[in-house]
Structure 1
Amino acid sequence: MRALIIVDMQNDFCGGGALPVDGADALAATISRYLESPEARERYAHVVATQDWHIDPGEHFSACPDNQTSWPPHCVAESPGAQFHPALNTDRIEAVFRKGAYSAGYSGFEGSDADGTALGDWLRRHRVASVDVVGVATDHCVRATAVAAFRAGFDTAVLPHLTAGTTTERTIAALAAMRDAGVALAETDQSPRSG
Protein backbone atom coordinates (compact mmCIF):
# COMPACT_ATOMS: atom_id res chain seq x y z
CA MET A 1 0.00 0.00 0.00
CA ARG A 2 1.05 3.58 -0.66
CA ALA A 3 0.43 6.67 1.49
CA LEU A 4 0.75 10.37 0.77
CA ILE A 5 2.49 12.45 3.44
CA ILE A 6 1.60 16.16 3.28
CA VAL A 7 4.29 18.11 5.10
CA ASP A 8 3.58 21.32 7.03
CA MET A 9 1.01 23.05 4.81
CA GLN A 10 0.43 25.58 7.58
CA ASN A 11 -0.43 29.27 7.62
CA ASP A 12 2.93 30.36 9.03
CA PHE A 13 4.71 28.89 5.99
CA CYS A 14 2.38 30.69 3.58
CA GLY A 15 1.90 34.33 2.59
CA GLY A 16 1.58 36.62 5.63
CA GLY A 17 2.97 33.94 7.94
CA ALA A 18 6.02 34.05 10.19
CA LEU A 19 8.18 32.05 7.71
CA PRO A 20 6.53 32.34 4.30
CA VAL A 21 7.74 30.10 1.48
CA ASP A 22 7.22 31.49 -2.02
CA GLY A 23 4.46 29.62 -3.78
CA ALA A 24 3.10 27.90 -0.67
CA ASP A 25 -0.37 29.48 -0.90
CA ALA A 26 -0.83 28.22 -4.45
CA LEU A 27 0.72 24.89 -3.48
CA ALA A 28 -1.99 24.26 -0.86
CA ALA A 29 -4.64 24.54 -3.57
CA THR A 30 -2.59 22.45 -6.01
CA ILE A 31 -2.22 19.65 -3.47
CA SER A 32 -5.98 19.78 -2.86
CA ARG A 33 -6.70 19.46 -6.59
CA TYR A 34 -4.28 16.55 -6.78
CA LEU A 35 -5.99 14.79 -3.84
CA GLU A 36 -9.30 15.04 -5.71
CA SER A 37 -7.86 13.61 -8.94
CA PRO A 38 -8.67 10.06 -10.05
CA GLU A 39 -4.92 9.34 -10.02
CA ALA A 40 -4.54 10.25 -6.33
CA ARG A 41 -7.73 8.47 -5.31
CA GLU A 42 -6.43 5.29 -6.92
CA ARG A 43 -2.78 5.70 -5.89
CA TYR A 44 -3.13 6.32 -2.14
CA ALA A 45 -4.68 3.96 0.36
CA HIS A 46 -3.91 6.53 3.07
CA VAL A 47 -3.25 10.25 3.37
CA VAL A 48 -1.58 11.76 6.43
CA ALA A 49 -0.14 15.16 7.27
CA THR A 50 2.48 16.68 9.51
CA GLN A 51 2.33 19.90 11.50
CA ASP A 52 5.02 21.95 13.14
CA TRP A 53 3.51 22.35 16.62
CA HIS A 54 5.85 24.30 18.87
CA ILE A 55 5.20 24.69 22.60
CA ASP A 56 8.70 25.49 23.90
CA PRO A 57 11.23 24.45 21.28
CA GLY A 58 14.19 26.02 23.08
CA GLU A 59 16.92 27.40 20.82
CA HIS A 60 14.87 26.62 17.70
CA PHE A 61 13.24 30.03 18.29
CA SER A 62 15.46 33.10 18.41
CA ALA A 63 15.13 36.89 18.52
CA CYS A 64 18.16 36.90 16.17
CA PRO A 65 17.57 33.80 14.01
CA ASP A 66 20.15 32.50 11.55
CA ASN A 67 17.37 30.88 9.44
CA GLN A 68 19.36 27.65 9.35
CA THR A 69 19.06 26.20 12.84
CA SER A 70 17.22 29.01 14.63
CA TRP A 71 14.08 30.76 13.44
CA PRO A 72 11.64 33.48 14.43
CA PRO A 73 8.70 32.10 16.41
CA HIS A 74 6.36 30.15 14.10
CA CYS A 75 3.68 27.47 14.26
CA VAL A 76 3.13 28.04 17.97
CA ALA A 77 0.73 25.35 19.22
CA GLU A 78 -2.94 26.32 18.89
CA SER A 79 -2.09 29.61 17.11
CA PRO A 80 -3.64 30.59 13.75
CA GLY A 81 -0.18 30.22 12.18
CA ALA A 82 -0.03 26.55 13.19
CA GLN A 83 -3.32 25.71 11.48
CA PHE A 84 -3.50 24.19 8.01
CA HIS A 85 -3.77 26.65 5.15
CA PRO A 86 -7.47 27.11 4.31
CA ALA A 87 -6.89 26.08 0.66
CA LEU A 88 -5.71 22.63 1.79
CA ASN A 89 -8.61 20.20 1.65
CA THR A 90 -8.18 18.08 4.77
CA ASP A 91 -11.09 15.68 4.09
CA ARG A 92 -8.83 12.75 3.10
CA ILE A 93 -6.30 13.29 5.89
CA GLU A 94 -6.65 10.35 8.27
CA ALA A 95 -4.05 11.33 10.86
CA VAL A 96 -1.96 14.39 11.71
CA PHE A 97 1.52 14.00 13.17
CA ARG A 98 2.65 16.98 15.22
CA LYS A 99 6.36 17.58 15.67
CA GLY A 100 8.67 20.00 17.39
CA ALA A 101 6.81 20.62 20.63
CA TYR A 102 10.01 20.93 22.67
CA SER A 103 12.71 20.78 19.98
CA ALA A 104 13.28 21.68 16.34
CA GLY A 105 11.46 18.67 14.82
CA TYR A 106 12.07 18.80 11.05
CA SER A 107 11.05 15.24 10.10
CA GLY A 108 7.48 14.06 10.29
CA PHE A 109 8.94 10.83 11.67
CA GLU A 110 9.75 12.77 14.85
CA GLY A 111 6.06 13.50 15.31
CA SER A 112 3.13 11.64 16.77
CA ASP A 113 -0.63 11.71 16.34
CA ALA A 114 -3.24 12.57 18.97
CA ASP A 115 -2.93 9.04 20.41
CA GLY A 116 0.86 9.32 20.71
CA THR A 117 1.54 6.98 17.78
CA ALA A 118 4.68 7.82 15.79
CA LEU A 119 4.34 8.27 12.02
CA GLY A 120 6.46 5.23 11.17
CA ASP A 121 4.46 3.02 13.52
CA TRP A 122 1.16 4.31 12.11
CA LEU A 123 2.27 3.59 8.54
CA ARG A 124 3.40 0.06 9.44
CA ARG A 125 0.19 -0.62 11.35
CA HIS A 126 -1.71 0.32 8.19
CA ARG A 127 0.53 -1.95 6.05
CA VAL A 128 2.01 0.95 4.10
CA ALA A 129 5.16 0.01 2.19
CA SER A 130 5.54 3.09 -0.03
CA VAL A 131 5.15 6.81 0.59
CA ASP A 132 5.07 9.94 -1.52
CA VAL A 133 6.03 13.20 0.18
CA VAL A 134 4.75 16.68 -0.71
CA GLY A 135 4.54 20.08 1.01
CA VAL A 136 6.93 22.68 2.44
CA ALA A 137 9.71 23.42 2.66
CA THR A 138 11.51 21.23 0.15
CA ASP A 139 14.89 22.05 1.66
CA HIS A 140 13.90 21.53 5.30
CA CYS A 141 10.97 19.43 6.49
CA VAL A 142 10.15 17.75 3.17
CA ARG A 143 13.78 16.63 2.83
CA ALA A 144 14.00 15.51 6.47
CA THR A 145 10.71 13.57 6.23
CA ALA A 146 11.57 11.90 2.92
CA VAL A 147 15.06 10.83 4.02
CA ALA A 148 13.69 9.54 7.34
CA ALA A 149 11.00 7.57 5.49
CA PHE A 150 13.60 5.94 3.26
CA ARG A 151 15.84 5.13 6.23
CA ALA A 152 12.84 3.63 8.04
CA GLY A 153 12.45 1.15 5.18
CA PHE A 154 9.68 2.74 3.13
CA ASP A 155 9.90 2.96 -0.66
CA THR A 156 9.98 6.77 -0.80
CA ALA A 157 9.35 9.35 -3.50
CA VAL A 158 9.09 13.12 -3.43
CA LEU A 159 6.79 14.81 -5.93
CA PRO A 160 8.81 17.98 -6.69
CA HIS A 161 5.94 19.77 -8.43
CA LEU A 162 3.96 19.45 -5.19
CA THR A 163 6.65 21.00 -3.00
CA ALA A 164 7.96 24.53 -2.46
CA GLY A 165 11.38 25.47 -1.14
CA THR A 166 12.91 28.55 0.42
CA THR A 167 15.12 29.40 -2.57
CA THR A 168 15.71 27.89 -5.98
CA GLU A 169 19.31 27.04 -5.13
CA ARG A 170 18.44 25.39 -1.82
CA THR A 171 15.60 23.47 -3.45
CA ILE A 172 17.86 22.12 -6.20
CA ALA A 173 20.45 21.10 -3.61
CA ALA A 174 17.78 19.44 -1.43
CA LEU A 175 16.38 17.45 -4.34
CA ALA A 176 19.89 16.25 -5.22
CA ALA A 177 20.57 15.33 -1.59
CA MET A 178 17.33 13.36 -1.38
CA ARG A 179 18.10 11.52 -4.61
CA ASP A 180 21.62 10.73 -3.31
CA ALA A 181 20.06 9.38 -0.10
CA GLY A 182 17.89 6.93 -2.07
CA VAL A 183 14.65 8.95 -2.38
CA ALA A 184 13.03 8.87 -5.82
CA LEU A 185 11.87 12.07 -7.52
CA ALA A 186 8.56 11.27 -9.20
CA GLU A 187 5.97 12.86 -11.44
CA THR A 188 2.21 12.48 -11.51
CA ASP A 189 -0.43 13.12 -14.13
CA GLN A 190 -0.64 16.60 -12.57
CA SER A 191 3.06 17.37 -13.22
CA PRO A 192 3.76 20.38 -15.42
CA ARG A 193 4.86 19.31 -18.87
CA SER A 194 7.68 21.02 -20.73
CA GLY A 195 7.41 21.87 -24.42
Structure 2
Amino acid sequence: MDMSKIPSPDARAVTGVIVVDLQGDFTTLKQGSLAVDGTDSTYVKTVEQVTLRLRAKGFTLFATQDWHPRDHVSFFTSHPGKHPFETVEIDGLSQTLWPPHCVADSENAGILMDPSFFSMVVKKGTCKDYDSYSGFQDQGGTSTELERLLRAGKITRLIVYGLATDYCVKATALDAAKRGFEVFVVKDLCRGVSVDTTRAALEEMAQHGINIITMADL
Protein backbone atom coordinates (compact mmCIF):
# COMPACT_ATOMS: atom_id res chain seq x y z
CA MET A 1 0.00 0.00 0.00
CA ASP A 2 1.35 3.41 -1.00
CA MET A 3 0.39 5.38 2.10
CA SER A 4 1.15 8.67 0.30
CA LYS A 5 -1.98 8.14 -1.80
CA ILE A 6 -4.37 8.22 1.15
CA PRO A 7 -6.10 11.59 1.54
CA SER A 8 -4.64 13.65 4.36
CA PRO A 9 -6.42 16.40 6.33
CA ASP A 10 -4.71 18.89 3.99
CA ALA A 11 -6.70 17.33 1.14
CA ARG A 12 -10.05 17.66 2.88
CA ALA A 13 -11.17 20.59 0.75
CA VAL A 14 -11.09 18.44 -2.40
CA THR A 15 -12.09 15.10 -0.87
CA GLY A 16 -15.66 13.86 -0.64
CA VAL A 17 -17.08 10.86 1.19
CA ILE A 18 -19.84 8.73 -0.37
CA VAL A 19 -21.72 6.40 1.96
CA VAL A 20 -23.43 3.93 -0.34
CA ASP A 21 -26.95 2.65 0.42
CA LEU A 22 -26.76 2.34 4.21
CA GLN A 23 -30.46 1.49 4.29
CA GLY A 24 -32.63 -0.77 6.37
CA ASP A 25 -33.51 -3.22 3.62
CA PHE A 26 -29.82 -4.06 3.13
CA THR A 27 -29.09 -4.77 6.81
CA THR A 28 -29.65 -7.59 9.24
CA LEU A 29 -30.14 -4.89 11.87
CA LYS A 30 -33.52 -4.07 10.30
CA GLN A 31 -34.21 -7.60 9.02
CA GLY A 32 -34.22 -6.17 5.53
CA SER A 33 -35.58 -7.99 2.49
CA LEU A 34 -32.07 -7.92 0.94
CA ALA A 35 -30.03 -8.02 4.14
CA VAL A 36 -26.28 -8.48 3.61
CA ASP A 37 -24.40 -10.65 6.10
CA GLY A 38 -22.46 -8.74 8.71
CA THR A 39 -24.70 -5.69 8.76
CA ASP A 40 -25.81 -5.78 12.36
CA SER A 41 -25.86 -2.90 14.85
CA THR A 42 -22.08 -3.08 15.34
CA TYR A 43 -21.46 -2.56 11.63
CA VAL A 44 -23.93 0.30 11.32
CA LYS A 45 -22.55 2.00 14.42
CA THR A 46 -18.99 1.68 13.12
CA VAL A 47 -19.93 3.23 9.79
CA GLU A 48 -21.63 6.09 11.58
CA GLN A 49 -18.69 6.72 13.90
CA VAL A 50 -16.12 6.76 11.10
CA THR A 51 -18.34 8.93 8.93
CA LEU A 52 -18.79 11.49 11.70
CA ARG A 53 -15.04 11.48 12.32
CA LEU A 54 -14.43 12.27 8.65
CA ARG A 55 -17.06 15.01 8.83
CA ALA A 56 -15.33 16.50 11.86
CA LYS A 57 -12.10 16.60 9.85
CA GLY A 58 -13.82 18.73 7.24
CA PHE A 59 -14.56 16.22 4.50
CA THR A 60 -17.81 16.74 2.58
CA LEU A 61 -20.30 13.89 3.04
CA PHE A 62 -22.73 12.46 0.50
CA ALA A 63 -24.99 9.41 0.67
CA THR A 64 -26.71 7.37 -2.01
CA GLN A 65 -30.15 5.94 -1.44
CA ASP A 66 -32.05 3.30 -3.39
CA TRP A 67 -35.54 4.76 -3.89
CA HIS A 68 -37.70 2.48 -6.00
CA PRO A 69 -41.30 2.67 -7.17
CA ARG A 70 -43.42 -0.32 -6.14
CA ASP A 71 -43.44 -1.70 -9.69
CA HIS A 72 -39.70 -1.38 -10.24
CA VAL A 73 -38.22 -3.52 -13.02
CA SER A 74 -35.75 -5.17 -10.64
CA PHE A 75 -38.48 -6.67 -8.43
CA PHE A 76 -39.38 -10.29 -9.19
CA THR A 77 -42.96 -9.34 -8.33
CA SER A 78 -43.02 -7.17 -11.47
CA HIS A 79 -42.50 -10.31 -13.60
CA PRO A 80 -45.31 -12.87 -13.25
CA GLY A 81 -44.03 -16.41 -12.89
CA LYS A 82 -40.49 -15.35 -11.97
CA HIS A 83 -38.69 -15.92 -8.68
CA PRO A 84 -36.17 -13.99 -6.59
CA PHE A 85 -32.58 -14.01 -7.91
CA GLU A 86 -33.48 -15.26 -11.37
CA THR A 87 -31.80 -13.41 -14.23
CA VAL A 88 -33.77 -12.19 -17.23
CA GLU A 89 -32.98 -10.08 -20.27
CA ILE A 90 -34.92 -6.85 -20.71
CA ASP A 91 -34.29 -4.67 -23.76
CA GLY A 92 -30.87 -6.22 -24.21
CA LEU A 93 -29.83 -5.72 -20.58
CA SER A 94 -29.27 -8.52 -18.09
CA GLN A 95 -31.43 -8.00 -15.02
CA THR A 96 -31.22 -9.84 -11.73
CA LEU A 97 -34.65 -10.06 -10.12
CA TRP A 98 -34.59 -9.04 -6.47
CA PRO A 99 -37.18 -9.18 -3.71
CA PRO A 100 -38.92 -5.81 -3.41
CA HIS A 101 -36.65 -3.48 -1.47
CA CYS A 102 -36.12 0.19 -0.66
CA VAL A 103 -39.59 1.12 -1.89
CA ALA A 104 -39.93 4.90 -1.86
CA ASP A 105 -41.24 6.25 1.45
CA SER A 106 -41.13 2.84 3.15
CA GLU A 107 -39.48 2.56 6.56
CA ASN A 108 -36.65 0.30 5.38
CA ALA A 109 -35.77 2.63 2.51
CA GLY A 110 -34.52 5.09 5.11
CA ILE A 111 -30.84 5.93 5.58
CA LEU A 112 -29.59 4.57 8.92
CA MET A 113 -27.87 7.81 9.79
CA ASP A 114 -29.22 11.29 10.37
CA PRO A 115 -29.67 12.71 6.83
CA SER A 116 -28.59 16.12 8.13
CA PHE A 117 -25.02 14.79 8.40
CA PHE A 118 -24.80 14.78 4.60
CA SER A 119 -24.50 17.66 2.18
CA MET A 120 -26.88 15.69 -0.04
CA VAL A 121 -28.60 12.32 -0.07
CA VAL A 122 -28.72 11.30 -3.74
CA LYS A 123 -31.65 9.07 -4.65
CA LYS A 124 -31.19 6.45 -7.36
CA GLY A 125 -33.31 3.79 -9.03
CA THR A 126 -36.26 6.13 -9.16
CA CYS A 127 -37.20 5.21 -12.75
CA LYS A 128 -39.25 2.03 -12.78
CA ASP A 129 -37.77 0.83 -16.07
CA TYR A 130 -34.07 0.67 -15.09
CA ASP A 131 -32.03 -0.67 -12.23
CA SER A 132 -29.39 1.58 -10.72
CA TYR A 133 -26.45 0.16 -8.85
CA SER A 134 -24.23 3.21 -9.38
CA GLY A 135 -24.79 6.45 -7.56
CA PHE A 136 -23.93 8.28 -10.79
CA GLN A 137 -26.41 6.87 -13.30
CA ASP A 138 -28.96 4.15 -13.89
CA GLN A 139 -28.59 1.33 -16.40
CA GLY A 140 -30.55 3.33 -18.94
CA GLY A 141 -27.89 6.03 -18.86
CA THR A 142 -29.84 8.68 -16.96
CA SER A 143 -27.55 10.57 -14.60
CA THR A 144 -28.26 11.43 -10.99
CA GLU A 145 -27.21 14.78 -9.56
CA LEU A 146 -24.14 13.30 -7.85
CA GLU A 147 -21.49 14.28 -10.38
CA ARG A 148 -22.83 17.82 -10.67
CA LEU A 149 -22.69 18.21 -6.90
CA LEU A 150 -19.13 16.91 -6.73
CA ARG A 151 -17.96 19.19 -9.53
CA ALA A 152 -19.68 22.17 -7.94
CA GLY A 153 -17.77 21.45 -4.74
CA LYS A 154 -14.48 21.14 -6.67
CA ILE A 155 -14.09 17.63 -5.28
CA THR A 156 -11.48 15.50 -7.03
CA ARG A 157 -10.98 12.63 -4.56
CA LEU A 158 -13.62 10.28 -3.16
CA ILE A 159 -13.68 7.95 -0.19
CA VAL A 160 -16.37 5.33 -0.83
CA TYR A 161 -17.88 2.64 1.42
CA GLY A 162 -21.20 1.01 2.29
CA LEU A 163 -23.45 -1.64 0.76
CA ALA A 164 -22.87 -3.81 -1.02
CA THR A 165 -19.23 -4.24 -2.05
CA ASP A 166 -20.00 -6.38 -5.07
CA TYR A 167 -22.91 -4.32 -6.38
CA CYS A 168 -23.56 -0.67 -5.57
CA VAL A 169 -20.18 0.12 -4.01
CA LYS A 170 -18.38 -1.38 -6.99
CA ALA A 171 -20.61 0.33 -9.55
CA THR A 172 -20.33 3.70 -7.83
CA ALA A 173 -16.55 3.46 -7.46
CA LEU A 174 -16.02 2.36 -11.07
CA ASP A 175 -18.24 5.13 -12.41
CA ALA A 176 -16.38 7.67 -10.26
CA ALA A 177 -13.04 6.47 -11.63
CA LYS A 178 -14.35 6.65 -15.20
CA ARG A 179 -15.25 10.27 -14.55
CA GLY A 180 -11.71 11.09 -13.47
CA PHE A 181 -12.07 11.08 -9.70
CA GLU A 182 -9.35 9.55 -7.56
CA VAL A 183 -11.19 6.85 -5.62
CA PHE A 184 -10.48 5.13 -2.29
CA VAL A 185 -12.74 2.23 -1.26
CA VAL A 186 -12.62 1.36 2.45
CA LYS A 187 -13.10 -2.39 2.26
CA ASP A 188 -13.74 -3.06 5.96
CA LEU A 189 -16.50 -0.45 5.99
CA CYS A 190 -18.24 -2.41 3.22
CA ARG A 191 -20.07 -5.71 3.26
CA GLY A 192 -20.62 -7.95 0.25
CA VAL A 193 -23.34 -10.33 -0.88
CA SER A 194 -20.97 -13.28 -1.29
CA VAL A 195 -17.32 -14.02 -0.60
CA ASP A 196 -16.50 -14.86 -4.21
CA THR A 197 -18.21 -11.87 -5.82
CA THR A 198 -16.79 -9.55 -3.17
CA ARG A 199 -13.26 -10.75 -3.84
CA ALA A 200 -13.81 -10.36 -7.58
CA ALA A 201 -15.24 -6.86 -7.08
CA LEU A 202 -12.23 -5.71 -5.06
CA GLU A 203 -9.89 -7.11 -7.71
CA GLU A 204 -11.83 -5.43 -10.52
CA MET A 205 -11.80 -2.09 -8.76
CA ALA A 206 -8.06 -2.33 -8.12
CA GLN A 207 -7.47 -3.17 -11.77
CA HIS A 208 -9.22 0.08 -12.69
CA GLY A 209 -6.92 2.15 -10.50
CA ILE A 210 -9.14 2.35 -7.44
CA ASN A 211 -7.26 2.39 -4.13
CA ILE A 212 -8.46 -0.35 -1.76
CA ILE A 213 -7.78 0.74 1.81
CA THR A 214 -8.91 -0.05 5.37
CA MET A 215 -10.19 2.01 8.29
CA ALA A 216 -6.68 1.98 9.72
CA ASP A 217 -5.49 3.92 6.66
CA LEU A 218 -7.90 6.80 7.20
Q: Which of the residues 46, 58, 62 maps onto 1:48?
A: 62
Q: How far did 1:148 drift?
A: 0.4
Structure-2 separation of matches of 1:167 and 1:66: 13
Establish whether residue 132 from structure 1 lines up as the match of residue 159 from structure 2: yes
| Mapping of residues 32-181 of structure 1, within 5 Å | 32-37=48-53, 41-42=56-57, 44-55=58-69, 58-63=72-77, 64-66=83-85, 69-85=96-112, 88-102=113-127, 103-110=130-137, 118-181=145-208
Q: Compared with structure 1, are the counterparts of its residues 74 and 180 closer, same or farther at alpha carbon in structure 2 (3 Å cutoff)?
A: same
Q: Compared with structure 1, are the counterparts of its residues 89 and 56 closer, same or farther at alpha carbon in structure 2 (3 Å cutoff)?
A: closer
Structure-1 separation of matches of 2:86 and 2:188: 24
Q: Which runs of 5+ in 1 are unaligned?
A: none
What amino acid maps onto 1:144 in structure 2?
A: A
Structure-1 separation of matches of 2:114 and 2:44: 8
Q: TM-score, normalised by structure 1?
A: 0.86
Q: CA RMSD in A?
A: 2.1
Matched positions, count: 183
1:32-51 C-alpha deviation (Å, 9 max, x unpaired): 111233x6632x53000000
Q: Which residue of 2 aligns with 1:12?
A: 25
Q: Compared with structure 1, are the counterparts of its residues 21 and 89 closer, same or farther at alpha carbon in structure 2 (3 Å cutoff)?
A: same
Structure-1 separation of matches of 2:18 and 2:153: 14
Q: Is the 8 A contact 1:49 1:93 kept in 2?
A: yes
What amino acid maps onto 2:45 in structure 1?
A: A
Q: Is the 8 A contact 2:115 2:121 kept in 1?
A: no
Deviates further, 123-132 or 52-61 = 52-61
Q: TM-score, normalised by structure 2?
A: 0.77
Where 2:98 maps in the other structure, the secondary structure is coil
Structure-1 separation of matches of 2:71 and 2:126: 6
